Amino acid sequence: MSNVIDILVSLVCIVIAAFLFANYVGWGILKLLEKLKERWGNDEN
């Protein structure tokens, strides 16, 4: 049973790490898009 528990713990850690990484990357992309929109808006004006 210890092997099964180890595998489950590893899977949970991987899922949490992937979720946090995706959140971080998504936030960064949103920030970049906002900056690009501001630059384009200033160019149009």
Q: How far apart are the first and last CA of the chain?
A: 66
User: With the CA atoms of 6, 8, 10 and 11 taken in that order, what torsion angle do they form, in degrees rounded to the nearest 10?
Assistant: 160
What digits encode the pLDDT tens for the residues 1-45?
789 999 999 999 999 999 999 999 999 999 999 999 888 877 665
Q: What confidence score (pLDDT) does residue 1 get? A: 72
Q: What confidence score (pLDDT) does residue 45 get? A: 54
Domain range summary for the chain, segments of one domain joined by +: 1-45
